[in-house]
Amino acid sequence: MLGMALAAIDGTIVSTAVPQIVGDLGGLAVFSWLFSGYLLAVTVTLPLYGKLSDTFGRKPVLIAGIILFLVGSVLCAAAWNMAALIAFRIVQGLGGGALQGTVQTIAADLYPLKERPRIQAKLSTVWATSAVAGPVVGGLLAGYADWRWIFLINLPVGAVALWLVVRHLHEPSRPRPAARPRVDWAGALAVFATGSLLLTALVQGGVAWPWLSAPSLGLFGASAVLAALTVVIERRAAEPIIPGWVWRRRTIASVNLALGAMGLLMVAPTVFLPTYAQSVLGLGPIAAGFVLSVMTLSWPVSAALSDRVYNRIGFRRTAMIGMSAALLVLLAFPLLPYPGEPWHPALLMLLLGAALGLFQLPLIVGVQSTVGWAERGTTTASVLFCRQVGQSIGAAVFGAVANGVLAARLLNAPVDGLPGDLDAVTRALEDPGAFSAAATDHVRRAVDAAVDYVYIGAAGAAALALLALITLAPRRFPVITEATDAPGAAGAPGAAKAADRSEIDS
């Protein structure tokens, strides 16, 4: 949990310190890469760390990830300009990728099926606490100490986590392989390059350059070529980083697609709800953050109680109930009155957190229970990878939707010269004298309409998640019994196929 906290809090702690960092180092035009670079590094390394943990064990991968993360933290604290800080944030992300995937896998290794909801709920609580505490801690350190302490604070936490892992994490003995394990470094490089180009195109498109410009088209084209090359390399590799069985098995493929769609819809509350709360409801940044944070209160509670549901009706049906509820909540958002009260979206976010807790945890626990030890790291990494990619795609797609709706609504505004970009409009609304009363109301209604369309799009993503479960997921997950769930016992593809045939009821 301490290792998970390192990766979780660093995704949010920098956000409130951006003014101090930019004031000290400069680089306002590229500061968004402080977040994008970290996210990119975490995402593209997940498949590699998943395969390495299946090959060499979880403990060495987790230790290496913590050390790399702490090295990146020290380098970030010593950064002399924005370019160096962005580069060192990427180093942090390389370690964060090992932390995210490996911790989730270890939780499934250490706890039997009946106890996994409890530990997964605690890990969800770590993320929830980090989402709320990160911006607050970052703002306090930047305002009353120095922004460099944002990264130095990782050192004592990481040191304790490292000591606990080295001393107390004992993996069960595994049979020595007949041949020396081979790492598919060519496949790892191809996956890394493909993911890097694709995520760069998604993150920067519509921001640093127009979507139909030469840089966007070039990056998308190059990523498509590299994706085809990656498939060729992985098919020829003896131990591929992303093996074909990840997509050939219906259970894993359906969960990958469903959680990818969940990553897509999560952009609506996490990215656009704070903008809605500040621009439409007129709340301050802290109050807007609390409107979103109520989702993190109901999510772990719902996740912890989900086992009482899926033990009765199965993983698939439980997840479908959760996503159906999420679909209704997302569709209810555009029906909120204008301007409304802060408790209106807060209530919907409380319900959304409960619905998604009922959706995500049964799928993760269920898919981890269908594979043996030797495939669990790869399976878990593929699920998290798809969720992260979905979130990146969602940020790009919904950002374009919001800006398009906003520009159309501002076309006939009472005043001329209004920006058509959502971020620029939000900043302008912070100045009370920027517009007349009529113009301000028009702009607020335009932002309200833009966010409404984003939530309708998020409801479409929820429908896609349901479609993946209905059409692809088996009615009963092929769960491997605990007696055979040991290193070497059910890790081979043949053993997993045997479990597929048995179709044990969850």
Per-residue pLDDT of 377-395, as tens digits, reads 888 888 988 988 888 888 7
- pLDDT value at position 501? 37
Q: Residues 243, 248, 253, 257: is their CA dihedral positive or negative?
A: positive
- Contacts of residue 120, defined as CB under 8 A and 6 or more positions apart, other chains included, come to 107, 303, 361, 364, 365
Residue 88: pLDDT above 60? yes
Residue with tokens 């996210």: 39
Q: Could you give the C-alpha distances from 174 to 82, 178, 470, in angstroms and in order?
A: 45, 12, 37
pLDDT at 483: 47
pLDDT digits 0-9 by tens, 131-166 = 667 767 777 777 777 888 888 988 998 999 999 999
pLDDT at residue 222 greater than cutoff 80:
yes
Structure-block tokens of residue 251: 């259970």
Say how far apart CA 403 and CA 271 lie, in whole Å.
13
Tokens 């009155």 locate to 337
pTM comes to 0.82
pLDDT recorded at residue 54: 86
Does the N-terminal peptide bond of residue 339 adopt cis geometry, omega within 30 degrees of 0? Answer: yes
Whether residue 374 contacts residue 492, with contact meaning beta carbons closer than 8 Å, is answered with yes
Decide if pLDDT at 497 tops 50.
Answer: no
Tokens, residue 64: 């290496």
Point out which residues pair with 209 in neighbouring strands: 205
Mean pLDDT, residues 451-476: 93
- For residue 176, what pLDDT band results from cuts at 50, 70 and 90? low
Predicted local confidence at residue 256, as pLDDT: 93
**Cα torsion 353, 358, 361, 367: sign:** negative
- E strand intervals along 111-254: none
3-state helix, strand, coil in the chain (%, to 5): 75, 0, 25
pLDDT at residue number 306 = 85
Pairwise pLDDT comparison (128 vs 100), residue with the higher score: 100
Burial degree of 270 (CB within 10 A; 0-12, 13-18, 19+): middle
Banded model confidence at residue 257, pLDDT cuts 50, 70, 90: very high
The DSSP 8-state label assigned to residue 84 in this structure reads H
Residue 489 has a pLDDT of 42
CB atoms within 10 A of CB 32: 15
Q: Which of 380, 307, 362, 318 is nearest to 115 (CA)?
A: 307
Q: Which of the 8 DSSP states describes residue 270?
A: I
pLDDT at 246 over 70: yes
pLDDT value of position 418: 67
- For position 417, what pLDDT does the model report? 63
CA–CA separation, 183 and 4 (whole Å) = 26
Proportion of the chain above pLDDT 90, given as a percent:
23
pLDDT score of 98 more than 80: yes
Average pLDDT, the chain: 82
pLDDT of residue 65: 93
Under 8 Å between Cβ of 206 and 398: no
More confident of the two residues 486 and 363: 363
Give the confidence band of 372 by pLDDT, cuts at 50, 70, 90.
confident
pLDDT beyond 80 at 30:
no
Give the integer Cα–Cα distance in Å for 65 and 87: 17
pLDDT tens digit sequence for 39-87: 888 888 888 898 888 888 889 999 999 999 999 999 999 998 888 998 9
Res. 492: pLDDT tops 60: no
Do 356 and 298 contact (CB within 8 A), yes or no? no
**What is the per-residue pLDDT for 174?**
66
Which of the two residues, 401 and 418, has the higher pLDDT score? 401
pLDDT at 459: 95
Whether pLDDT at 491 is above 60: no
DSSP 358-369: HHHHHHHHHHHT
pLDDT in tens, 297-355: 888 888 888 888 888 898 999 999 999 999 999 999 999 988 888 889 999 999 999 99
